[in-house]
Amino acid sequence: MDHRQQPSLSRFDHCPWLFEKEATREQRTAQRERQRSLDGDGEVGERCYVAESAAVHTDVLRLGDDSYIAAHAYVTGTLTTGTDCTLNPFTAVRGTVSLGTGVRVGAHTSLLGFNHSTAPDLPVFRQPQTSRGITVGDDVWIGSHVVVVDGVTIGDHCVIGAGAVVTKDVPAWTVAAGNPARRIRDRRETAGGEGARDGRAGAGSAGGGRSRDPLTRFADTARAQAADILARSWDGTHYADRPGTAPTVRAHCDAVEIADLLLSSAPDQLDAAEHIERLASLQDRETGLVPELGERPPPMDADGFLGEGPALYHVLSVGYALELLGASFRQPIAGVRDMTAGQLVARLEELPWREGAWSAGAWIDSWATAAHWNLRHPAATAPTASTALTSGTLEALFGWLLTRADPWTGMWGTPSTVTGRLQVVNGYYRLTRGSFAQFGVPVPHPERVVDTVLDHARDTRYFGAGRENACDVLDVAHPLWLCTRRSSATGDGGYRSAEIRSWAEGRLSAALRRWHDGQGFAFSPDSTGPGPEPGLQGTEMWLAIIWLLADLVGRSDSLGYRPRGVHRPEPAPKPD
């Protein structure tokens, strides 16, 4: 077979789009070996091609299906891509770089997701490196000989002209060129009316297809499908997270939250009064807690409250579902009402801060939320203050937390050599959600919190391609939102605002692609939590996450909704 019958590997290196159609069996075997030999933590999708002549020396490489790295490319650091991405010949991709779906990077272009410090006390070659990363959205064309510097986010549907030097974020739909790159026009100005799709399957399938804004289109789709998603999880008597699973208290509460967020009403399966009766009647008369369906109330600890189990989260989920329905718990939560300041401090000291900071944070979230409901309960207006809370317990809680926060991280708990900052960051979200955020108290050391959270968000064990679950993303998004607390936090020069925006843009683009038509969101791509099947919990959480991410980049108004329940961003209303 001559060269006209059997294309050379050199030809495929320069024209990798031909490989799938023209390669021989031997050449396909060689390509598989090439992919297996790549450095670092690797995951290469179907029908990908990595040129033999490309220098790929990565710590992490995640190539989506139908993507390729062409001849003489130079790739180091961490690269993650969606599907149908192209690195053409002689591209340089270094540092931390994330590409969406359908990204084309022209020949001789450099994406430099790292930088060197320039302090005068060290020679340049000894300066430490920094990396904020580069994020590129979906459906982006980056021309030849372009340079994109560290910290830049290029939004969905952008076109970057040949030779541009991109030093600042580029909003979605922008055509940019020049040195430094500047906006030339909006790509939709010549798009014939209807904007390009954002690459998310099913986004416009329910009446929202003519919206130019991907967020608006997504929200329109979610609203149009919300009733079917709720009906899917109703077994005729109760709500389950998804078909085939057991009914739970949380599933009913998630249904109420989703209906309130998207439909501004109670779920259709019952009228509002029936929803209220179902949920309120679950409260145990002696303890004020809500056990799981069909289970007895859990035993209380010596201080009158419990340490773990579903009833802890039901303090949040049932309480907020009732509030959204215009009702409340029928009685105070006894263990929190009767606990003394001394008992509370003793419990705080005994929480598993070293080995289980998430559990510690979750306990505080539940206790503080129970205190919030008790203060708003009608019994709180009675002559004796003990009907709501024992005097001084809330002050003891905030005093203990403020004096125990680590000034270097802004958090509570100890990182692990095995799981890194996961427990600490996730515990921070739960802790601050129920205490500082819910009661409107400023968090201590907010800039150190941003440092800690952004450092954690670079951990590819939890934020690598295809690894993000709802808890992990929420537990970064909410602290970033809480510590910036302004709608323009990513555009006004605030602390590490460009990095916050870059991270949020990347997560937002990925989150929108996770929607399953008629089913909602899955909690996780793997077996974590409720797992990879779409259900009520994943849908309720990701809807709130998308709002937080959109607000971090100044685009939440496009959604037309704002969380009001467990994941409400602002403090809860104060008692009358």
| Tokens 């991410």, located at residue | 549
The yes-or-no verdict on residue 327 having pLDDT over 90 is yes
Of 118-132, 272-286, 320-334, 343-357, the least confident: 118-132
Look at residue 8 in the predicted model and tell me its pLDDT.
57
Of 15-19, 359-363, 455-459, the least confident: 15-19
Give the residue numbers annotated as catalytic, written as ranges: 116
The yes-or-no verdict on residue 184 having pLDDT over 70 is yes
* Residue 480 maps to a domain: no
**Looking at this protein, which amino acid is placed at residue 559?**
L
Q: What's the pTM value of the predicted model, to 2 decimals?
A: 0.66
**Could you give the percent of the chain with pLDDT greater than 70?**
90
Of 135-139, 344-348, 535-539, the least confident: 135-139
Per-residue pLDDT band for 391 (boundaries 50, 70, 90) equals confident
* Residue 575 maps to a domain: no
Q: Judge whether 241 and 251 are in contact, CB under 8 Å.
A: yes
The yes-or-no verdict on residue 545 having pLDDT over 90 is yes
Task: Name residue 50's beta-bridge partners.
Answer: 69
* Residue 172 maps to a domain: yes
Shared-domain flag, residues 78 and 179 = yes
Rounded Cα–Cα distance for residues 408 and 436 (Å) = 19
Per-residue pLDDT band for 386 (boundaries 50, 70, 90) equals very low
Concatenated DSSP letters of 303-365: TSS--SSHHHHHHHHHHHHHHHTT---SS--HHHHH--HHHHHHHHHHS-TTT-HHHHHHHHH
Shared-domain flag, residues 175 and 324 = no
Look at residue 220 in the predicted model and tell me its pLDDT.
92
**Could you give the percent of the chain with pLDDT greater than 90?**
68
Residue at a domain's end among 331, 365, 386? 331
Per-residue pLDDT band for 9 (boundaries 50, 70, 90) equals low
Look at residue 13 in the predicted model and tell me its pLDDT.
84
* Residue 36 maps to a domain: yes
SS3 content of the chain, % helix, strand, coil (to 5): 40, 15, 45
Of 189-198, 257-266, 557-566, the least confident: 189-198
Task: State mean pLDDT over 40-69.
Answer: 89
Shared-domain flag, residues 179 and 247 = no
| Tokens 């145990």, located at residue | 284
Concatenated DSSP letters of 484-530: H-STTTTTS--TTHHHHHHHHHHHHHHHHTT-BTTTB-BS-SSSSTT
Can you say how many angstroms the Cα of residue 519 is from the centroid of all Cα atoms in its chain?
19
Per-residue pLDDT band for 385 (boundaries 50, 70, 90) equals very low
Q: Give the CATH number for residue 13.
A: 2.160.10.10
Give me the chain's average pLDDT, please: 88
* Residue 45 maps to a domain: yes
Q: Name the token pair of 481.
A: 């939102």
Shared-domain flag, residues 82 and 184 = yes
The yes-or-no verdict on residue 322 having pLDDT over 70 is yes
Shared-domain flag, residues 124 and 263 = no
Shared-domain flag, residues 139 and 254 = no
Residue at a domain's end among 294, 311, 331? 331
Per-residue pLDDT band for 212 (boundaries 50, 70, 90) equals low
The yes-or-no verdict on residue 193 having pLDDT over 90 is no
Task: State mean pLDDT over 303-312.
Answer: 93
* Residue 254 maps to a domain: yes
Shared-domain flag, residues 48 and 136 = yes
* Residue 427 maps to a domain: no
User: What is the extent of the structural domain holding 86?
Assistant: 9-190
Question: How many residues does the structure list for the chain?
Answer: 576
Q: Name the token pair of 198.
A: 């954002």
Shared-domain flag, residues 169 and 284 = no
Nearest to 522 by CA among 496, 543, 500, 548: 543
SS3 category, 119: coil
Residue at a domain's end among 331, 366, 390? 331
Look at residue 550 in the predicted model and tell me its pLDDT.
95
Look at residue 411 in the predicted model and tell me its pLDDT.
97
Shared-domain flag, residues 248 and 151 = no
More confident residue, 366 or 181: 366
Shared-domain flag, residues 255 and 157 = no
* Residue 566 maps to a domain: no
Name the domain count of the chain. 2
Shared-domain flag, residues 143 and 38 = yes
Shared-domain flag, residues 180 and 254 = no
CA Rg value for the chain: 26
Distance of CA 351 to CAs 308, 360, 363, Å?
11, 5, 8
Look at residue 189 in the predicted model and tell me its pLDDT.
67
Per-residue pLDDT band for 208 (boundaries 50, 70, 90) equals very low
Look at residue 510 in the predicted model and tell me its pLDDT.
92
